Structure 1
Amino acid sequence: MDDVTSPGARRGFGTRLTHGSRPAVRSHGFVNPPLHRGSTVLQPSCEARIENAKHRFERVMTYGTQGGPTHYALEDMVAGIEGGTHCTIVGTGLAAVAVPLLAFLRAGDHCLMPDSAYGPARNLAEGLMTGWGIETTFYDPTATAESLAALWRPNTRVLYMESPGSHTFEIQDVPALAALARARGAISMIDNTWGIHHFQPFAKGCDVSIQALTKYVGGHSDILLGSVTVNSQAHHHAVRAASSAMGHYASPDDCWLALRGARTMAVRLAHQEKAGLEVARWLQARPEVDRILHPALPEDPGHAIWKRDFTGACSLFGVVFQPRYAQEEIFRFVDGLQLFGIGASWGGYESLALPTNLAVVRRVTPAPAAQIVRLHVGLEEVADLQADLAQALALLPR
């Protein structure tokens, strides 16, 4: 592991991002590490090739799909951000969800997943995993360890968490749930994309952390990447073996761009957290808005747990409109925005707005009745964003 996690781990977050995963000896004097591309890896002898294949999960390069120096640098960076020991980079955020689920689940196993989970994760659980003989039970994301224990089965192998939840932003009591999983001999994993570094999953008892590096680490809405971070060599081997068996691979060009994005992430996160809260509080006071789904706000139901477990927030939150508004009226509001683009993803430099009711699927908790718009606040000036929201809100019927 490089200087992002060793004595420099005591340094500030911005310092670690600036200096982590940079070679001690500069390449021709340049600050950034070089980009390494390749498929064929030449071996010094046939015997060496056989021996190296035994260690392919420990950064002994045998073929390009096993990664290379550019991948390793980003893996060290992400592991350092989350407090893990090993990281595997894959091509998308969804691949980062699929790889650990399929690494630790087999036919006949049972998985517990929150009812608020990211839609494609739910699709995987209800689709391919069902076809492979893996059953998933969706649980209330606000469940306590005691209530979740009632859903446990002898074949429950994975507890999946996402805190806060996609679109509806419920905060889970991760330390208590992870402790339950550990006591029952199951793997606990969490989608930590919203938490980024504000939530330290391994310090809270998790075994596996998933991130869509497409978001804040990339930061510029121009790459697709995911990461799976663990805190033990055994879990690393399981994840790496599953990733290799399924042919998952990330472009080294995208890994290099993610490394570049990570250098400025601390500054972007600090600005976007502050701007996001300003916009959220401004919207909270609008008569068109019923409530804001943002765990960093004291009024949010999950605020107490957020305050206990998180050191900050990102700039993604939900806006619940007054129940008198119909879907077509909310569409008119979103269509009327000029600075907020209409599109999926988040974590980039640009602001986004997305009506999310149609994306909210529920099995055990009620789907929201009122219209919800998910907002991501980018790097624009807050006053300009507020003015844009005001003119679009004026399109709603009085």
Structure 2
Amino acid sequence: MKDQTVCVSPPAISEDGYVSLTTPVHRASTIVFPNAAAYANRAERGPDGYSYGLGGTPTTRRLQATLNSLAGAEGTLLLPSGQAAIMLVFVTVLKPGNTILIPDCAYPPVRSFCQSFLAERGIGFRVYDPDWSPDQVGDLIDDSVKLLWIETPGSATMEMVDVGGLVKRAHAKGVLVGCDNTWATPLNFKPVLHGVDFVIEALTKYAGGHSDLLMGSVSVRQADWYPELRTTMSLMGLGVSPDDCSLVLRGLETMSLRLRHAAKTAFDFARQIAERIPGELVLHPALPHSPSHALWKRDFAGASGVFSIIIPDHVRDAVIKQVDAAQSFSIGASWGGTHSLLAPMSVADERSFVKPEHRGTILRISIGLEDPADLWADLERIVAVIEG
């Protein structure tokens, strides 16, 4: 080989005796085939066969296998974000003339996608109150409904739903069920074991764990859906970076410890806050006074580090000043990383069933890994304003 060729194709080396605790980062666009016949027949390799980098590398497969095992699923796919994971399910399952049911407390882009993209393509949606019973939600199911979407607990307002009850009503009418399980992670709740057909996780949050990547996953209860979702991904040119997969694999190694710490600290804070201001202003399903507490206690193995407090209108401006002055919290979207976050928001304009207590400002709190005493110093000043 000439020098120029050696620079492009370095000599092979032996890997005998080399065993690492880390998953190698396999980067590739082109996948090399042993001969022309193998290339011509590459479709025979199946949905998980290596044929082009967009379809994944061994690094991608390792992360898929790990998440699949955690979820107890029959297949897991990786997407560029949690939102992309949700949309993959929607566009694969729903056809013109179909209807999807979504909870009023769903991640806001879910409703936006239904209102714009799906509606323009002849796919309808209906909204249900997450406080409704499974029977009440079941009454919305007619012959057009193809998919029932669940988010438990709900974004910002933390409502829990009876997953098993909803699955039973939906499946009895031939309707599929999908669930956003990002708050709980598979460490605290495994929707597949409750009959949910599609489970999405925003790996951006607790799985990645360091606020430095975007990724989502879809895990399926029935293996037949795996190749269909794969086909949609391929048609849409969706894939993820093996470098990001490596970061998520690293994040997963410490997720249980980070989640346990964040959950304990968040619950301690929520309990202390509820002792100083009216309990109904503190939204956390693990608190005994929560309307959703019985469902959380029955179905979940634990909580996460995210909860909310409702800011009374008469102290809103004073509270926002304390949010701006916080020393240990940052202000920003997302959650689940090492840095604690505050996110003041209004949900009333995005809801169909607006509860009186949700008409004002809600402060979502995500607990990270800072010293709890420093975090409490910031929260205590906010609580003192509300306390009056």
Fold-level match, TM-score > 0.5?
Answer: yes
Deviates more, 1:228-237 or 1:43-52: 43-52
Give the AA of the match of 2:121.
W
2:96 to 107, 114, 126: 107
> Post-superposition shift, 1:290?
5.2
> Post-superposition shift, 1:390?
2.1
Residue matched to 1:117: 106
Alpha-carbon distance in structure 2 between the residues aligned to 1:394 and 1:147: 40
Residue matched to 2:223: 233
Count of aligned pairs between the two proteins: 372
Residue matched to 1:199: 189
Residue matched to 1:76: 65
Residue matched to 1:243: 233
Matches within 5 A, 1:351-390: 351-358=340-347, 361-366=350-355, 368-390=358-380
Residue matched to 1:96: 85
CA contact (8 A) 1:94 1:226 kept: yes
Larger Rg: 2
Stretches of structure 1 lacking an aligned partner (at least 5 in a row): 1-24
Question: Higher helix fraction: Structure 1 or Structure 2?
Answer: 2
> Post-superposition shift, 1:189?
0.3
Alpha-carbon distance in structure 1 between the residues aligned to 2:23 and 2:285: 37
> Post-superposition shift, 1:51?
2.8
Cα deviation code 1:266-288 (max 9, x no counterpart): 11111111111111112112348
Alpha-carbon distance in structure 2 between the residues aligned to 1:157 and 1:79: 25
Residue matched to 2:126: 137
Residue matched to 1:336: 325
Distance verdict in 2 for CA 1:148–1:380, change over 3 Å: same
Cα deviation code 1:281-313 (max 9, x no counterpart): 121123487521110111100000111110000
CA contact (8 A) 1:100 1:239 kept: yes
Residue matched to 1:255: 245
3-state SS, counterpart of residue 54 of structure 1 = helix
Give the AA of the match of 2:242.
P
Distance verdict in 2 for CA 1:287–1:73, change over 3 Å: same
Alpha-carbon distance in structure 1 between the residues aligned to 2:264 and 2:372: 10
Give the AA of the match of 1:46.
A
CA contact (8 A) 1:288 1:322 kept: no
Residue matched to 2:310: 320
Stretches of structure 2 lacking an aligned partner (at least 5 in a row): 1-14
> Post-superposition shift, 1:47?
3.0
Matches within 5 A, 1:4-43: 28-43=18-33
Give the AA of the match of 1:82.
A
3-state SS, counterpart of residue 192 of structure 2 = coil
Matches within 5 A, 1:32-71: 32-57=22-47, 59-71=48-60
CA contact (8 A) 1:337 1:388 kept: yes
CA contact (8 A) 2:348 2:354 kept: no
Residue matched to 1:6: none
Alpha-carbon distance in structure 1 between the residues aligned to 2:363 and 2:87: 27
Alpha-carbon distance in structure 2 between the residues aligned to 1:245 and 1:138: 30
What RMSD over aligned residues (CA atoms) do the two structures have, in Å? 1.9
CA contact (8 A) 2:104 2:351 kept: yes
Alpha-carbon distance in structure 1 between the residues aligned to 2:386 and 2:27: 52
Structure 1 runs of 4+ aligned residues shifted over 4 Å read 392-397
> TM-score by structure 1 length?
0.89
Alpha-carbon distance in structure 1 between the residues aligned to 2:144 and 2:109: 24
